[in-house]
Structures are given as C-alpha cells and as structure tokens.
Structure 1
Amino acid sequence: MARFIFITGGVVSSLGKGLASAALGSLLQARGFTVRLRKLDPYLNVDPGTMSPFEHGEVFVTDDGAETDLDLGHYERFTGVAARKTDSVSSGRIYSNVLEKERRGDYLGKTIQVIPHVTNEIKDFISIGEDEVDFMLCEIGGTVGDIEGLPFFEAIRQFSQDKPRGQCIFMHLTLLPWIKASGELKTKPTQHSVKELRSIGIAPDILVCRSEGPIPAKEREKLALFCNVRPDAVVAAQDLSTIYDAPLAYHREGLDQAVLDAFQISPAPKPDLSRWEDVSDRIHNPEGEVRVAIVGKYTQLEDAYKSIAEALTHGGMANRVKVRAEWIDAERFEREDPAPLLERYHAILVPGGFGERGTEGKIRAVEFARTRKIPYLGICLGMQMAVIEGARNVAGLSTAGSQEFDHEAGEKRFEPVIFHLKEWIKDNETVARSVLDDKGGTMRLGAYEAQLKDESLVREIYGAPTISERHRHRYEVDIKYREKLEEAGLCFTGLSPDGRLPEIVEWKDHPWFVGVQFHPELKSKPFDPHPLFRDFVRAAKDVSRLV
C-alpha cells in the first residue's frame, strides 16, 4: 500500500510546487522506490482543455486522452512515469461527479453537502491505484487560504486521519522574501502560511522554502521553532539556472532524506543519481549552440509552449549543444517579409494552435523554410500550415485553406485541404463528432498509432515501422488531396492504420522538413529525448556548422 505525500503551497502562487513534486518523485525513484504523481486543482473548469493558453499555459495530454495541467508534463519528464486520466482532477470534475450521482439517486435522497459528499469524492480519487506504487505524491493547486481550495485541504486532512498513523505526510512550499533595504531574509510570511494551514487541521512535516540564496542557520532554527518542524526538515529551494538541476539541488538540501525520516524508513536505500548527473553535465557543458525560431501565436507566454521548449532542450542535450529558442509572433510576418529575421536561425518550428489569427504569417515562415532549405518542424497546426503552403505555392491549389477558418468567418473562402474531423477509429470503435458539440473534451485526444512509410526520413528517425503519439486536434489534412500533393513533392510518410488520416508529411527534396499532426513534445524527457526533436536539433547543428 502506498505512502502518501501531500504537497501544498503558501504565501504566493507559482513558487514551483509542480517542479518540487517532480524532483522529489525522481529522487525517490533514485532510491529504488516506485512513484506516481497527481494534481488536484481547485478551479471550477472540468479540465483546462477549454482555457486560453494565456489563461492557464499549455494543456498537457495523456496517452488515455485526458487534458491536464502542465505540471503533469513536469511529472512525466522527471520520473518517466506516463500520466493517466486518474492523475488529474479539478473542483469542476469533482462537483460534476457529485451532481451526476445525485441525479441518478445514488445518495438515496440525502442532502448533498461539501462534507462529506464532495470530500468523499476527492478521497476516492486520491485512493485510485494506491496499491500500485510505493509512494503517491499529490500536489494541491493554488495556495492555502484560497476559498476554492478548502474542500481539497479538508479532504486530505480527513484522508490522513483515515489511514494508519505514519502513512501520510504533508510538505508545504512557501516563500522566504529577501528585503534588500534592511538586508534581511523574512520568515514571517512562512509562519503565517503555516498558521493558516494548521488552522484547518493540517500540520506540515516538511517545509520547502523558496529563496534567492541559502537559509542561514538562525532563520532555519526560527522556522523550525515557530512552524513546529524539525530543523533538518526545513529545506531550502534556491533559484536555479535550469530546472534540471532541481533533483541534485534538492538532494544536496536533504529533501529526500527528510521525507524518508518523516516516514521512519531506516536504513534509507542509497540513491543512484548518475542519470541526473549526466543530465546536468550535458546541459552545463554544451559544445556549441543552435538558434531555433518558434513562430507561433501565443508567444507572449512561454508556458503556452512549455513542452516544446523543454523538448528542444532535450534535443540539445542529446547533441551536446545549447538550443537558443526565440519566440516570434506569427502575425509579424503578415506585415513584413520574414526573410531578414528568419535567415538568422538554424531551424524553424511552427507549433500548434487554434483559430485563424497569425496563420498567414505561419504560412510565410513555412515557405521560407521550404525554399531556403532550412530544417523545419511543424506540429499539429504547424503541419497543416505546411500542407496549405505546399498546396498553394507548389501544387497549384491557390485557394487552399482550412474549414476551421471558414467556420470562424461564417463563409466559404478556401478550398478545404484541411477539414473538420467528424469521425475516427479509437480502440476499434468509431468516434463521431459534430461542429455543434460542446468544445470540452471533443477533440481527437490521446495516443494513436501511425504507420511509417519505408525509406522515409521519419522511418529512419524512429527506427520502427509503427509509432504511437499523442494528439489534440479536431481538424485534419484531407486524404483526397494526397495524390496531387505528392506529385508536387510533399510526401505523406505517416498514416493512421486504416490509411484515412495523414499523420506525417515531409518534402522529398528538402534536407529536413517534417510536419506531424500529433504532439511529439509531450513524450520527450531529459534522459530520453524524443527522436524527432533529437534529429531536428542535429539538423540545426549541421546548418550551424555551414554558416
């Protein structure tokens, strides 16, 4: 039966609970334990799938088709454990489940209340799969004191009481601000945060304190005294130059040992940190640099493309180079020639997105990459823009476009080489969708297989005839245009098993030009870079040697 670690936050948001949870999971793995990580989010959306990237950052997608918080990406990247639908839940999902049960009569006519019905639903969620691993790490989104988070805090308090003594611990992440004018590190915000936590019945076993530098012994002792924790359970979380230093940094600070001590696991297995030492060496000792232009529409918020940024970093590690990714607003190229800016880069990437805004700028970036023979990777919408560009400028379909853009405009303006996907096969069953369906959870989501064409670039990159990748889209390249596009040189080198859905395209006369309908960035890890990103950066590295 799993031991449970509940990770909470205080003082301010965005302190790095997700990263701390992921790093701790990797350290427990290094000591030979099995782990699973979960995120409990207090917002009332059922999931983040309908949120704007500007509102919530990237939507991370699991193999089984869940749209989740981007922290699950950190969990996967640091532990290699594939996330599942049961690893992410929101207040919206919890309340939806409770109301569905009430409508069915499952509560036998009782008055439905937050306690016990909502908290029981949360506890049931936390318990899923508890017999599968040694440690279950559950991160509570938001900060202590948030009104929407109270049911979650109450649920984990109850959960810890339901379990045998010593099976649950609480780790609280706070901020130690440095007041420059007085030259002091202030502990009072942390004291108040812990006081708030204790007022709802939760006493932290471990304090993880974000700070710009080390915590002096005097402040550490003060925190231990006023927050009622052991001095060696006060762990400093200093600012780092890269998130991939976090496991080694937390180990040096004694986080994993503090967790094992809290569970009274003795003697503690010795950790094997060779994997993270290699990762650190590769990221801190590059042998060159490549510049990659990311031409997108959500460039004002880097978290909107978090997994892409990390996958490029992983590709750099594999090639012993630093990847300098620079974000360019696609709308800029609708007003100006992209050449003067893009010719400074060794490779171009066009990521996914929704809606027509910025698409003409993306198409011009695609044209530049194709005609200048610059390595190009198009992901989801980036593949569709590559198909539209090829259709217009090479295959003679001058009005090529997407049904998505016509749907927004309410009129037919384009020949739809990209069409709204109304049905597809999932687990040998037909899934049907309509443009009138709700937006949430209605896309083609999760892992699907693709068959790769022999003697293609992607077949060589993957080293396998069949692949499985994660999808998140509702528009597809129309297979009926395949013959015309392939005559022009744009080859369909990856198809769904039934041959109906194009998954990968590449230009046959280009050194490295690949468009994929799926999201390869979601499966990349620092110790296991995704093959496409690894080879994309290699191609960029080859270009850098020529200029």
Structure 2
Amino acid sequence: MTPLIFVTGGVVSSLGKGIAAASLAAILESRGLKVTLMKLDPYINVDPGTMSPYQHGEVYVLDDGAETDLDLGHYERFVRTRLTRRNAITTGRIYANVLRKERRGDYLGATVQVIPHITDEIKRCIDEAVAGYDVGLVEIGGTVGDIESLPFLEAIRQLRSERGPEKTLFMHLTLVPYLKAAGELKTKPTQHSVKELRSIGIQPDVLLCRSEQPIPEGEKRKIALFTNVPEKAVIDAIDVPNIYRIPMWYHAKGLDNIVIERLHLAGKVREADLSEWERVVEAFEHPRESVSIAIVGKYVEHKDAYKSIAEALTHGGMKQGVRVDMRWIEADDIEAQGVGLLAGADGILVPGGFGQRGFEGKVMAARHARERGVPYFGICYGLHAAVVEFARNVAGLGGANSTENDRASPHPVIALITEWRTATGAVERRDETSDKGGTMRLGSQLCRLQPGTLAQRLYGADEVHERHRHRYEFNDHYREQLGAKGMVMSGVSEDGSLVEMIELADHPWFLACQAHPEFTSTPRDGHPLFVGFIKAALAERGRRQAAAAPAVAAGKEAVAP
C-alpha cells in the first residue's frame, strides 16, 4: 500500500493547500522519493471544464486531456511527475461512477448509499491514482465543516482505520490571524478548526499554521496543547516573498523529517537537495533587468483565470534574469478606448478564451503589434485574433472572422473542423444543442515544426507535444491565400491537416499557437516559447530606449545654459 498524506484546510478557503501539498511533494522528491499528488474537489460538476473562470479560475489541462482544477498546475510545476485524469476527482465524477455501476447491476440489488458505496468509490479512486508511487499526497478541496466535503473526509477517516497510522498522515492547514487592534496573534480559529475535524473522527498529525509573521514558541505550545498535536509538528507557514521559497521554508522547519519518520520512509530517502529551488529563488528575487508585458484578455479582473499564463511569463523571465511586469488589460477597454492602452508595452500577449465579448479588442491588439513591430504572442484565441486581423487588413478579406462570433462571415478563416471539412468547403450549421463538456480538442498532441522557422529555432526540435483546449481551428481552405501574403504556417498537426502555429515573415517576433504551452512551463525549466518571447520583449525595450536616447539628449542640450 502506498503511504498517503491527506491535506485538509480549515477556517477559510484560499489558504494555499495546493501550494503546501506541492511544496512538500517537491521536498520529498528531492529526497529521492517517487511522488504523486491528487485533488478531491467537492463540487458536483464532473470536471471544471464548463465552469466560469470568474467562479473557479483557470481550467488546467493534463496530457491525457483531463480538464482539472488549477491546483493540478501547482502540482506539475513543483514536481517532475506528469499527472493524469486519475489525479483529479470531483464529487460529480464519483456519483457518476457509482450511478453507472448501479445501472449495470454491479451492486446486486443493494440500496446504494453514501456509506459504503460513495466512500468505497472514493477510496478506489485514491488507490488507483497513487499505485506504484512511494508516497501519494491527497488534497481535499474546500474547508472542514463544508457539507459537500463530508463524504471525502469520511473516506479518508476510513482509510486511516483500515491502513493504520504508519501508512497515513493527516496534515491540516489552518489560519492564525494577527489582530492589529489587539496587537497579537489569535489561535482560537485554529483550535476550533481542529475541533471540527476531530468531531468527524480525524485527528491531525501535522498543523501548518498560516500567518503573516512567525508564530512565537509560546503560541505554538498553546496550539499543540489544545489540538493534541506534537509541538514539533505545529509549523508556522508564514507569508514569503514568492511561492518558490516555500519548499525551503518547510524543509528548514523539518516538515519532511516528520513525514518520513511517521510513514517509515527513512530507508528510501537521501538528504534533500534543494539547489534547483535555490537557483529559482535567486533568479526570481534578483533580476538584472525588467520588461513590461501587456496581457489582453477578457477575465483579467480575476487573475486566477490566467494563472498558468502569469507563471509561465515569470518562468520565461527567470531563465534570463528578467523581471516581468505584467499589465493586465481588458480587451473590452481596448475596444472602447483604443490601442493607446498598449503604449509602452515591450510585448503583447493575447491568451485563450471563449465567446464574442472582447474579441475585437484582441484583434486590435494583434494589429497594433503587427504594425508597430512589437513582439506578439498569441495563445489559442490569441491565434484566432491574429489570423482574423491578418486576413482582414493584409489579405484584404473584408468581414473575415471566426464562426464562433459570426456565423454569416463571408470569410470564416477560423471555424469548427466539421464546418470547413466538407466537399464544397462551405460552412455548415452545427448542432447548437449538443453538450459543451468534453467536446473540445483536448490534451497533448504532436506538432510538426517547419524547418527554419522561429518556432523550430526556439524549440530546437522538429516535433513537439503541446496541450490543447479548444473547439475552433484555422480554416485550412485559407492556408494558401494567407501564406501568399506573408503568414508562415510554422507548425502543423501530425497528419499535416491542421495549422498549429503561425508566424509573420517580416516581423521581429510574431508567433501564435493553437495549443496552450503555458501548461508545461515550470520554474526550473521554463518553456521555449515564453523564454523566446521575453527575450524578444527585452530587445524591443532596448530598441525603444535607443530610439529615445537622441531625443532626450537633444532636449538636455536645448535647455543647457
């Protein structure tokens, strides 16, 4: 049986359970253990694929096409393990599995109940996800006391009873707030959170106490006394300058030693080697230069909607000692106020998205980048915007658009495959009543790069795999027409039938891809496209500064006595 670490949270949400789990996994991996992570989400959606970014943030996509919670992104950025759909389970999926079995007659006429049928299915999914690993970390979404989380908490309580304390560890993340008016830290919320957890039969083995400042030893002793947790296992998880410091913080506090001792893993481990994380922190905290990147999206008021984009940009800068200053700009605002909002940007990135709102603002951003020679990086919908803009303003295809936004477009340069793969090439009406979930091109797919292109130089390879999440594609009927005007189809699908990447031959750095490369960027390795984009933005910054220098010098000379 794979030893299991269960990560729960209390008091409030957004304390950072995912980061805590990922950081502990990173330390254990550095000690030679083969680690995997899993998220149990209490919502009834089968997956977050159809959920609004405003409610749930980014939908993170795995190699096998699973649409998951953004915490899976934290996991993959902190450990080398590549996750699958087995690592992301929701209440909706659990119930769907149980109902499917009930309809097949697998329960032999029994009355299907939360206990044992739902909890047994949860335990089965956990076992399936962690099989073959030295240790598995399982994060339970939500907070203790949420009615939705109770079946998951009951399942992990049963696992402790079945496997014993030497194969299971409960790690509880809670809040120790500082009240400025009183001038002191308050431990009562943590005490009540643990009391709630114990009321359902779970005694935490480790407490991670989130706080704005270090917790005094006296307060730790108080927490240990009232929660029945050993004092050495009460660990202050203070706010740090960046999340990549957290593995080193927990290691310094001895968290990994507590886990290894409790789960009897001493014979499998070596000394921790966190040198890679030390280099990451050094690059992040001591940049030599900076660049300004304008991100033109439609959910920018909710940053978690573009979590992986922000991380990948940061990684691309860290690889070159560059701090990336991100300017989040609503595409709607560009439509209303013009491209002047992009002034001073060293690079422009247009990320993925869905729907008509803000699309014309993205098209305007692509045009501004093309005409002004500003580095442009389009991702998914950002490719669609770039293709539509080029078709309209360079190829002279008036009214060009995506059929996602204009079904009557005379030039549907972006469309569903089923719309343009017809005998005549005419756009056919799709079924508007079909289910949305699971109908996209999802997961890792091979892309062939054309020799001599920017993309091929950046990757240093002729074939790459990137993760997809989209329904609409470049309409292949326009490939030759747009190519004749200077658009380079630098990446195509394995069979050559789909355009995956485009570039502009006469532009310093203009690249757009249908896939989502941000999902495979990590702080230790970065991603070739993001590294190249930041490098181009740095060159653009230098060019603008050089162009401004004579004017500045002339101004100083004019006012000299």
TM-score (norm 1): 0.96
Size of the aligned set, in residue pairs, is 535
Map 1:270-281 → 2, pairs under 5 A: 270-281=271-282
Equivalents in 2 of 1:424, 1:17: separation in Å? 45
Equivalent position of 1:143 in the other structure: 143
Equivalent position of 1:355 in the other structure: 355
Equivalents in 1 of 2:291, 2:504: separation in Å? 23
Equivalent position of 1:496 in the other structure: 493
SS of the residue aligned with 2:511?
strand
Equivalents in 2 of 1:37, 1:414: separation in Å? 49
Assess if the C-alpha contact under 8 Å between 1:53 and 1:304 holds in 2.
Answer: yes
Bigger Rg, which one? 2
Equivalent position of 2:108 in the other structure: 108
Map 1:8-157 → 2, pairs under 5 A: 8-157=8-157
Assess if the C-alpha contact under 8 Å between 1:8 and 1:17 holds in 2.
Answer: yes
Map 1:156-171 → 2, pairs under 5 A: 156-171=156-171
Q: Which residue, 416, 420, 423 being the options, matches 1:420?
A: 416
Map 1:393-412 → 2, pairs under 5 A: 393-406=393-406, 412=408
Residues 1:510 and 2:504 are matched in the alignment? no
Equivalents in 2 of 1:424, 1:104: separation in Å? 40
Partner letter of residue 536 of structure 1? F
Equivalent position of 1:430 in the other structure: none
- The CA deviation at 1:414 is 4.7
- The CA deviation at 1:265 is 4.0
Assess if the C-alpha contact under 8 Å between 2:35 and 2:134 holds in 1.
Answer: yes
TM-score (norm 2): 0.93
Equivalents in 2 of 1:45, 1:217: separation in Å? 43
Assess if the C-alpha contact under 8 Å between 1:308 and 1:521 holds in 2.
Answer: yes
- The CA deviation at 1:424 is 12
Equivalent position of 2:556 in the other structure: none
Partner letter of residue 453 of structure 1? Q
Assess if the C-alpha contact under 8 Å between 2:50 and 2:437 holds in 1.
Answer: yes
When residues 360 and 414 of structure 1 are mapped into structure 2, their CA distance, relative to the original with a 3 A threshold, is: farther
Equivalents in 1 of 2:140, 2:29: separation in Å? 21
Assess if the C-alpha contact under 8 Å between 2:451 and 2:462 holds in 1.
Answer: yes
Equivalents in 2 of 1:218, 1:181: separation in Å? 20
Residues 1:231 and 2:231 are matched in the alignment? yes
Equivalents in 2 of 1:213, 1:141: separation in Å? 25
Assess if the C-alpha contact under 8 Å between 1:422 and 1:434 holds in 2.
Answer: no
Equivalent position of 2:288 in the other structure: 287
Equivalent position of 2:303 in the other structure: 302
Equivalent position of 2:549 in the other structure: none
Equivalents in 2 of 1:244, 1:343: separation in Å? 32
- The CA deviation at 1:343 is 2.4
Equivalents in 1 of 2:526, 2:20: separation in Å? 21
Equivalents in 2 of 1:495, 1:113: separation in Å? 50
- The CA deviation at 1:423 is 9.6
Equivalents in 2 of 1:129, 1:301: separation in Å? 31
Equivalents in 2 of 1:50, 1:510: separation in Å? 37
Equivalent position of 1:428 in the other structure: none
TM-align CA RMSD: 1.5
- The CA deviation at 1:442 is 1.1
Equivalents in 2 of 1:130, 1:521: separation in Å? 26
Assess if the C-alpha contact under 8 Å between 1:60 and 1:69 holds in 2.
Answer: yes
Equivalents in 1 of 2:130, 2:376: separation in Å? 44
Equivalents in 1 of 2:227, 2:432: separation in Å? 54
- The CA deviation at 1:165 is 4.2
Partner letter of residue 327 of structure 1? W
Assess if the C-alpha contact under 8 Å between 2:402 and 2:409 holds in 1.
Answer: no
Equivalent position of 1:346 in the other structure: 346
Where in structure 1 are there 5+ consecutive unaligned residues? Answer: 426-432
Where in structure 2 are there 5+ consecutive unaligned residues? Answer: 422-429, 546-561
Assess if the C-alpha contact under 8 Å between 1:205 and 1:262 holds in 2.
Answer: no
Equivalents in 2 of 1:98, 1:422: separation in Å? 34
Equivalents in 1 of 2:118, 2:420: separation in Å? 36
Q: Deviations over 1:412-449 (max 9, x none)?
A: 24521111133999xxxxxxx95542111111000110
Equivalents in 2 of 1:181, 1:280: separation in Å? 34
Assess if the C-alpha contact under 8 Å between 2:384 and 2:474 holds in 1.
Answer: yes
